[in-house]
Amino acid sequence: MASGWPLYDQVVEQLAYWTSAEPWQPSLEIGSEAWWDMVHEASEATLQCASAWGRVFWPMVIISIAFFRENPEVALVLGIAFALYLLQRHVRRARYVERTFAAVDRTTAALRGRYNRCLDWVRTKSRLVASVLPHVGYLASTLCVYFLWPRAALYISTPKSLFATAVAVPTLATAYRLTKVLRRPPTAAVERAGPAGTAAAAAAAAPPATGGTVTSSATLAYWLSVWCVLGVGCVLLELPFVERVLCVVPAWSFTLVVFCVWLWLPIAHGASLVCSVIAPTVGRYFGQIPQSWEQQNMVLNVLVTVRVISDATRRRILEFLDGGLVAVLALPFVVTPGFLTHYGCALVGLAYPVANSLAALSALRPELLRRWCTYWVVFAAITVAHELLEPVFGFLPLWHHAELAYTVWLQLPYFRGADRVFATLMTTRKGTSVRGSDADGRPKSSSGGGQREGGAGPGSDAVSNDEGHDTQPKKER
Q: DSSP assignment of 129-180, as one string? A: HHHHHHHHHHHHHHHHHHHH-HHHHHHHTSHHHHHIIIIIHHHHHHHHHHHH
Q: Which long-range contacts (CB under 8 A, 24 or more apart) does 278-282 make?
A: 278/228, 278/229, 278/232, 278/358, 279/198, 279/199, 279/200, 279/358, 279/361, 279/362, 282/354, 282/355, 282/358
pLDDT of 453 higher than 50 = no
Residue 204 pLDDT grade (very low, low, confident, very high; cuts 50, 70, 90): very low
User: Nearest to residue 372, comparing CAs of 231, 205, 169, 165?
Assistant: 231
Q: What is the predicted pLDDT for the residue at 455? A: 36
pLDDT of 9 higher than 80 = no
Helical axes 252-264 vs 127-148, angle rounded to 10°: 140
Q: What is the predicted pLDDT for the residue at 435? A: 53
pLDDT digits (tens, 9 = 90+) for 399-443: 889 999 999 999 887 788 999 999 888 775 444 455 555 544 444
Other CB atoms closer than 10 Å to residue 214's CB: what's the count? 17
pLDDT digits (tens, 9 = 90+) for 54-103: 888 888 888 888 888 888 888 899 999 999 999 989 988 988 888 988 89
Q: What is the predicted pLDDT for the residue at 59? A: 87
Q: What is the predicted pLDDT for the residue at 5? A: 63
Compare 410 and 305 and report the one with higher pLDDT: 410
Other CB atoms closer than 10 Å to residue 84's CB: what's the count? 10
Residues linked to residue 463 through DSSP beta bridges, in sequence order: 472
Cα–Cα distance, 148 to 151 (Å, whole number) = 9
pLDDT of 456 higher than 50 = no
Please report the DSSP string for 102-124 in residue order. Answer: HHHHHHHHHHHHHHHHHHHHHHH
Q: What is the predicted pLDDT for the residue at 244? A: 81
pLDDT of 14 higher than 80 = no
**211 contacts 113 by C-beta, under 8 angstroms:** yes
Q: What is the predicted pLDDT for the residue at 167? A: 93
Residue 224 pLDDT grade (very low, low, confident, very high; cuts 50, 70, 90): very high
Q: What is the predicted pLDDT for the residue at 427? A: 73
Q: Span 130-152, mean pLDDT?
A: 90
pLDDT digits (tens, 9 = 90+) for 318-351: 766 666 678 888 888 988 888 889 899 999 999 9
Q: What is the predicted pLDDT for the residue at 202? A: 42
SS3 of residue 470 by DSSP:
strand
pLDDT of 33 higher than 90 = no
pLDDT digits (tens, 9 = 90+) for 117-133: 988 898 888 888 888 88
pLDDT digits (tens, 9 = 90+) for 459-473: 333 333 333 344 344
Compare 248 and 435 and report the one with higher pLDDT: 248
241: left (phi over 0), alpha (psi -120 to 50) or beta: left
Q: What is the predicted pLDDT for the residue at 184? A: 65
Residue 207 pLDDT grade (very low, low, confident, very high; cuts 50, 70, 90): very low
User: Nearest to residue 257, comparing CAs of 144, 115, 127, 158?
Assistant: 158
Q: Span 13-26, mean pLDDT?
A: 59
Q: What is the predicted pLDDT for the residue at 395? A: 82
Average pLDDT of the chain is 77
Residues in CB range of 214: below 8 A, 6 or more apart: 205, 206, 207
Residue 30's H or E segment, with its range, is: none
Burial of 86 per CB tally in 10 Å (0-12, 13-18, 19+): exposed
Q: Span 359-378, mean pLDDT?
A: 90
Q: What is the predicted pLDDT for the residue at 169? A: 93
Q: What is the pTM of this model?
A: 0.65
SS3 of residue 422 by DSSP:
helix
